[in-house]
Amino acid sequence: MRFALKLVSLSLMLMAALIGSAVASNATNATNASFDSWLVDLRAEAKSRGISDNVLDAALGGAKPIKRVIELDRKQPEFTMTFAQYLNKIVSDRRVRKAQEKLREHDKILTEISKKYGVQKRFIVTFWGVETNFGQYLGSFNVPHALATLAHDGRRSAYFRKELLNALKILEDGHIAPDKMKGSWAGAMGQSQFMPSSFLSYAVDWDGDGKRDIWGTKPDVFASTAYYLAKAGWRDDITWGRAVTVPTGFTLDGKNAKALADKKTKMKLNEWAKHGIRSKDGSALPTADLTARLVMPAGNDGPAFLVYSNFDSILDWNRSNYYALAIGHLSDQLR
């Protein structure tokens, strides 16, 4: 009897698995059919914008929704690292040493680019290091296929449809071959991790070969990074900011330091100094005529920073205070 019951149980489990597999298969088939229909419309729009059949076939031929892309978009991990943990990860001793080596290795071309665009060499190298570990990790996803997946998905379809059409234009213009257009699951590309729209606006053909190659040509990567920052308002006569100490019990107009940071209250450095703010090492703040605001990534009990306009230019690249502070800290190691 027990053996018979086990056979029945195994049969039921096998039947459930087969039904589940059939349901999943039908859902996949339906998704693919919907995607194929959507792709017909996308191709028509792309052709109306001057994209050739050759590029469309090479970029999107055989494209199917990428399940992993949807998973990553749906299940982006909740950010739980403390600022200290994040900083230790991004500005590791190993990365600092490598950044110093790269700064020396590419000094000549970096000097030329820095002079043209007004962005200090150390910041160009810093962005390169933080984004792709100096070109080592560019992402492994086929960018047109990943963007098509997200554009069809519906959650942010308008945005990703626009980026897909931009990616197709990049291919039409011959900057990269379709099978070489690799990047992140969300479509960020090359050693500078530009979205296609950023590529079209800021990528630079520094070596003059007719291609803005942010994947394999380092001078193009460096110049593109510098041009982006220049257009974001970068100043090469100032740095990003500095670590400071805030007096115990500090208040200004009834607001504590964290409240002022949250409101992005801006004052001249001499005004902050009058209220007891000093450099982290205890020395007086610089006397330069600069406007600054407080950033306190870990609240009132954590580190404090006075940041300048270049910090906001970093935020134009990536809206995270953690990211911008990591860029600042790594760049300080390259002075």
Q: How far apart are CA 143 and CA 169, in angstroms?
A: 13
Q: How far apart are CA 242 and CA 44, in angstroms?
A: 52
In the prediction, which pLDDT does 156 show?
A: 87
Q: Are residues 47 and 160 in the same domain?
A: yes
In the prediction, which pLDDT does 30 show?
A: 45
Which amino acid is residue 265, in one-letter code? T
Q: How far apart are CA 49 and CA 179, in angstroms?
A: 22
Pairing between strand 141-142 and 278-279?
unpaired
Instruction: Tell whether the model's pLDDT for residue 16 goes beyond 70.
Output: no
The total of structural domains in the chain comes to: 2
Provide mean pLDDT across the span 99-125.
98
Q: Are residues 43 and 184 in the same domain?
A: yes
Q: Are residues 169 and 50 in the same domain?
A: yes
Instruction: Tell whether the model's pLDDT for residue 3 goes beyond 90.
Output: no
Instruction: Report DSSP letters for 139-156, one per residue.
Output: --EEHHHHHHHHHHHSSS
Provide mean pLDDT across the span 84-109.
97
Q: Are residues 154 and 42 in the same domain?
A: yes
- Is the pLDDT higher at 125 or at 25? 125
How far, CA to CA in Å, does 73 sit from each of 26, 68, 145, 147, 153? 23, 9, 14, 11, 10
Instruction: Tell whether the model's pLDDT for residue 333 goes beyond 50.
Output: yes
Boundary-marking domain end, from 128, 161, 189 = 189
In the prediction, which pLDDT does 26 show?
A: 40
Q: Are residues 36 and 154 in the same domain?
A: yes
- Flag whether 91 is in a domain: no
pLDDT interval class at 77 (50, 70, 90): low
In the prediction, which pLDDT does 13 show?
A: 55
Provide mean pLDDT across the span 304-320.
97
Provide mean pLDDT across the span 109-133.
98
**What residues contact 214, with CB distance under 8 A and at least 6 apart?**
189, 190, 191, 192, 194, 199, 203, 220, 221, 224
Provide mean pLDDT across the span 198-217.
97
In the prediction, which pLDDT does 74 show?
A: 87
pLDDT interval class at 11 (50, 70, 90): low
- Flag whether 107 is in a domain: no
**What residues contact 131, with CB distance under 8 A and at least 6 apart?**
191, 192, 193
Instruction: Tell whether the model's pLDDT for residue 195 goes beyond 60.
Output: yes
Q: Are residues 285 and 174 in the same domain?
A: no
First to last CA, the chain: 80
Structure tokens at 220: 């193009």
Provide mean pLDDT across the span 235-239.
97
- Flag whether 173 is in a domain: yes
Instruction: Tell whether the model's pLDDT for residue 278 goes beyond 70.
Output: yes
Instruction: Tell whether the model's pLDDT for residue 1 goes beyond 80.
Output: no
Instruction: Tell whether the model's pLDDT for residue 5 goes beyond 70.
Output: no
Domain span including residue 169:
32-64+140-189
- Continuous segment of H or E residues that includes residue 180: none
Q: SS3 for 291?
A: strand
- 311 backbone dihedrals φ, ψ, rounded to 5°: -60, -40
- Flag whether 199 is in a domain: no
- Flag whether 262 is in a domain: yes
Residues 135-152: tens digit of each pLDDT? 999 999 999 999 999 999
- 307 backbone dihedrals φ, ψ, rounded to 5°: -120, 150
- Flag whether 276 is in a domain: yes
pLDDT interval class at 301 (50, 70, 90): confident
Question: What is the average pLDDT value for the chain, to the nearest integer?
Answer: 91
Instruction: Tell whether the model's pLDDT for residue 219 goes beyond 90.
Output: yes
Pairing between strand 291-295 and 182-183?
unpaired
- Flag whether 331 is in a domain: no
In the prediction, which pLDDT does 22 show?
A: 40
In the prediction, which pLDDT does 15 show?
A: 53
- Flag whether 76 is in a domain: no
Instruction: Tell whether the model's pLDDT for residue 181 goes beyond 90.
Output: yes
Q: Are residues 36 and 168 in the same domain?
A: yes
Residues 249-271: tens digit of each pLDDT? 899 989 999 999 999 999 999 99
Q: 333 and 95 in contact (C-beta within 8 Å)?
A: no
Provide mean pLDDT across the span 160-166.
98
- Is the pLDDT higher at 39 or at 11? 39
Boundary-marking domain end, from 189, 209, 226 = 189
Q: Are residues 270 and 171 in the same domain?
A: no
Instruction: Name the residue among 235, 245, 249 with its Cα closest to residue 306.
Output: 245
**What residues contact 241, with CB distance under 8 A and at least 6 apart?**
292, 295, 305, 306, 307, 308, 310, 311, 328
In the prediction, which pLDDT does 300 show?
A: 86
